[in-house]
Amino acid sequence: MGKNIPFCFFASFVILIFILNPLHVTGESLTHSSEGYLPLQATAAILVEQTTGRVLYSRNPHARMYPASTTKLLTALVAIQHLDLDTVVVVGPEIRGMPVGFATNLHAESETITVDVLLKALLIRSSNEAGRILAIETVRTIDDNRSLQYSEAKTRFSQLMNQMAHSLGATNSNFNNPYGLHSEFHYTTAYDMALIGRAFMEVPELVGISAIREFEGDSLGNRFHPQAYVRQYSWTNTNLMLPGAAFGHPYIIAGRTGFTTPAGHCFVGGAYHNGLSLVSVVLYSQEPARWQDTRVLIDHGFINYAFREIATEGTLLATAIVENPRLGDSNTLEVLLQERHVALLGRAEYASIQRELVFDPLLLVEAYTGIAHDAESVILRAPIEEGAAVGTVVYKVFGEIIFSTPAIAARAVYERTFDSDMDYYLSMIFGNIFTRRALPYWFAVLGTLFGVVNLILAITISRRARRLNNWHTPPRRR
Q: How far apart are CA 461 and CA 174, in angstroms?
A: 120
Strands (DSSP E) contained in 212-315 are 214-218, 232-236, 252-260, 264-273, 276-285, 305-311
Q: How far apart are CA 355 and CA 350, in angstroms?
A: 12
Q: Which residue has the higher pLDDT, 190 or 24?
A: 190
In the predicted model, what is the mean pLDDT of residues 455-463?
86
User: Pick from 362, 381, 409: which residue ends a domain?
Assistant: 409
177 and 104 fall within a common domain: yes
pLDDT digits (tens, 9 = 90+) for 418-451: 876 676 677 767 666 666 666 676 678 788 988 8
Per DSSP, 449 falls in state H
Pick from 30, 36, 35: nearest CA to 61:
30
Q: Which residue has the higher pLDDT, 321 or 62?
A: 62
In the predicted model, what is the mean pLDDT of residues 89-95?
94
Predicted local confidence at residue 249, as pLDDT: 97
122 and 192 fall within a common domain: yes
Predicted local confidence at residue 472, as pLDDT: 63
User: Pick from 390, 409, 428: which residue ends a domain?
Assistant: 409
Q: Which of 128-132, 173-177, 369-373 has the lowest mean pLDDT?
A: 369-373
Q: What is the CATH number of the domain that holds 390?
A: 2.60.410.10
Predicted local confidence at residue 90, as pLDDT: 95
Predicted local confidence at residue 433, as pLDDT: 67
Residue type, 139: V
Does residue 435 fall inside a structural domain?
no
Predicted local confidence at residue 35, as pLDDT: 44
Give the distance from CA 430 to its chain's centroid: 57
Provide the number of structural domains found in the chain.
2
110 and 75 fall within a common domain: yes
157 and 243 fall within a common domain: yes
Q: How far apart are CA 373 and CA 370, in angstroms?
A: 9
Predicted local confidence at residue 33, as pLDDT: 43
224 and 361 fall within a common domain: no
For residue 52, pLDDT beyond 70: yes
pLDDT digits (tens, 9 = 90+) for 210-247: 999 999 999 998 887 778 999 999 999 999 999 999 99
Does residue 471 fall inside a structural domain?
no
117 and 134 fall within a common domain: yes
Cβ pair 246, 228 in contact under 8 A: no
pLDDT digits (tens, 9 = 90+) for 350-402: 999 999 999 998 888 865 444 444 455 688 888 999 999 999 999 999 999 99
**Residue 396, burial from CB neighbour count under 10 angstroms (0-12, 13-18, 19+):** middle
For residue 112, pLDDT beyond 60: yes
278 and 381 fall within a common domain: no
Does residue 8 fall inside a structural domain?
no
Cβ pair 337, 387 in contact under 8 A: no
Query: Is omega for the bond preceding 288 within 30 degrees of 0, making it cis?
Result: yes
For residue 184, pLDDT beyond 90: yes
For residue 348, pLDDT beyond 50: yes
Q: What is the DSSP string of 24-44?
A: T--SPPPPPBTTB------SE
Does residue 462 fall inside a structural domain?
no
300 and 337 fall within a common domain: no
300 and 316 fall within a common domain: no
Per DSSP, 279 falls in state E
**Residue 31, burial from CB neighbour count under 10 angstroms (0-12, 13-18, 19+):** middle
Does residue 434 fall inside a structural domain?
no
Per the structure, the complete domain to which residue 93 belongs is given by: 24-307
Does residue 477 fall inside a structural domain?
no
Give the CA diameter of the chain: 169
Predicted local confidence at residue 16, as pLDDT: 34
Q: How far apart are CA 304 and CA 292, in angstroms?
A: 18
Torsion angles phi and psi, residue 217, rounded to 5? 170, 180
Does residue 463 fall inside a structural domain?
no
273 and 322 fall within a common domain: no
Report helix, strand or coil for 392: strand
Looking at beta carbons, which pairs linking 157-163 to residues 24 or more positions away fall under 8 Å? 157/78, 160/78, 161/74, 161/75, 161/78
Residue percentage of the chain with pLDDT more than 70 = 84
280 and 352 fall within a common domain: no
Strands (DSSP E) contained in 84-183 are 88-90, 112-114
Strand pairing class (316-323; 379-381): parallel
For residue 252, pLDDT beyond 60: yes
User: Pick from 409, 439, 468: which residue ends a domain?
Assistant: 409
Does residue 56 fall inside a structural domain?
yes
Predicted local confidence at residue 17, as pLDDT: 33
Give the pLDDT band (50/70/90) at residue 60. very high
Give the pLDDT band (50/70/90) at residue 460. confident
Give the pLDDT band (50/70/90) at residue 142. very high
Residue type, 405: T
Q: What is the CATH number of the domain that holds 164?
A: 3.40.710.10
256 and 388 fall within a common domain: no
Pick from 102, 306, 68, 270: nearest CA to 187:
68
Predicted local confidence at residue 177, as pLDDT: 97
**Residue 440, burial from CB neighbour count under 10 angstroms (0-12, 13-18, 19+):** exposed
